[in-house]
Structure 1
Amino acid sequence: MSALKRRLDSSLTAQAVLAFLMALAITALFARPDEHPASWLLRSALYTGIGVVFIVVQRRRIGRATGADPRRLADLNRKIRHREVPSDPEERAVMRRLVAEHLRRMERGGRWLPYSLGLMGLLAVGLLVVGAVTGSLSLPVFTVLLIGICCWTLWMRRRTLDRCRHMQSALREQDERVS
């Protein structure tokens, strides 16, 4: 299991295959009964392609900001998750830039978070009302999924901020010890 997690963490191809399979399952789940399965494949490939483009652009931006390649970034992100401070001074410098970049992105995204969560909340209420009026059972399911996504987003944001702040202070303490 650890090898699979490491492969998914570092390999864009593995991430793309997993995303394609998930998109295919979701597309098949919500497809019309008269729809041909080839359209599922095409839409899933399109969704996966769009997602991979976003991931590649994000990796390049972070790579340019930190001066590290994607494989090294994956290893440093794993160290952030496991709260491991690198012993190499060069690696600590890259880690410091990576943590600063993560915190900067989280701060910038945090400005829009209330608006996006409010919009998702309005969408959830609207779906619930439309589902109650039409008697549809799928719309309340979408509402529950939307609320779950909102809660998961807030939880992951808090968790990532805690990890990055912890790593920032641990790097600062490590640098003070070395000096």
Structure 2
Amino acid sequence: MRTLKAVLDRSLTAQAIVIFVLGVGVYALIRRDTSPVLWVVQSALITAMAVGAIAVQRRRAGRAAGTDARGIAELNRKIRHRDVPRDPRERAAMGRLVAEQLGRMERGGRWLPYWLGCMGLIAVGLLVLGITTGSLVYPLVFAVGTVAFCCWVMWMRRRAMELHRHMRAALEGQG
């Protein structure tokens, strides 16, 4: 499992393969009545957009930290494990990466209540539609899934912010 995680952390190609396979599987489950060629085409489009977004994010993080994709993956692993590097160059790169990621999370936090509110409104709207049409199972499942997803997003954001703040304090304390 660690090897798979490391490969997915470092390889954009491996991430693209996983996204593509999952996309084809989801389209096959959702759109059984359409052609498998359409599943593949739609999954390829989604994969291309996702890989493009990931590549832009990696390039931005690499420029901010002054390292390549492998270096970013290694620095992120060290952040997750609260491992402060000893090498001054690696410490400087980690400090820049932590500052960039923490700033991005703090800036994104301004919009988080609006996104969560929008998701809540969509879930409530689907519940109301389900009640009026008499089909409550799918809207209820979607609403529970939406609430679970929002809780997971909040938990992951809080955990990531705590990790980055800890790492920033550790880097400033030892530097």
3-state secondary structure, aligned to 2:34: coil
Name the amino acid aligned to 1:168.
Answer: R
Where do 5+ consecutive residues of structure 1 fail to align?
none
Q: What is the Cα deviation at residue 76 of structure 1?
A: 0.2
Q: What residue is the counterpart of 2:109 in the other structure?
A: 110
Q: What residue is the counterpart of 2:21 in the other structure?
A: 21
Q: What residue is the counterpart of 1:8 in the other structure?
A: 8
In the TM superposition, what are the counterparts of 1:12-51 in structure 2 within 5 Å? 12-31=12-31, 33-51=32-50
Name the amino acid aligned to 1:172.
Answer: E
Measure, in 2, the Cα distance between the counterparts of 1:36 and 1:135. 31
How many pairs were matched up?
A: 174
Q: What is the Cα deviation at residue 20 of structure 1?
A: 1.2
Name the amino acid aligned to 1:139.
Answer: P
Where do 5+ consecutive residues of structure 2 fail to align?
none
Q: After superposition, what is the alpha-carbon deviation per residue over 1:67-92, rounded to whole angstroms, capped at 9, x for unaligned?
A: 11111000000000011000100000
- Provide TM-score, normalisation by structure 2: 0.95
User: Deviation above 4 Å: which 4+ runs of structure 1?
Assistant: none
Measure, in 2, the Cα distance between the counterparts of 1:138 and 1:24. 22
Measure, in 1, the Cα distance between the counterparts of 2:152 and 2:8. 20
Measure, in 1, the Cα distance between the counterparts of 2:40 and 2:133. 31
Identity %: 57
3-state secondary structure, aligned to 2:40: helix
Q: What residue is the counterpart of 2:141 in the other structure?
A: 141
Measure, in 2, the Cα distance between the counterparts of 1:23 and 1:155. 26
Measure, in 2, the Cα distance between the counterparts of 1:144 and 1:67. 42
- Provide TM-score, normalisation by structure 1: 0.93
Q: What is the Cα deviation at residue 102 of structure 1?
A: 0.7
Measure, in 1, the Cα distance between the counterparts of 2:73 and 2:6. 9
Measure, in 2, the Cα distance between the counterparts of 1:93 and 1:106. 20
Contact 2:123 2:139 in 1 (8 A): no
Contact 2:80 2:163 in 1 (8 A): yes
3-state secondary structure, aligned to 2:109: helix
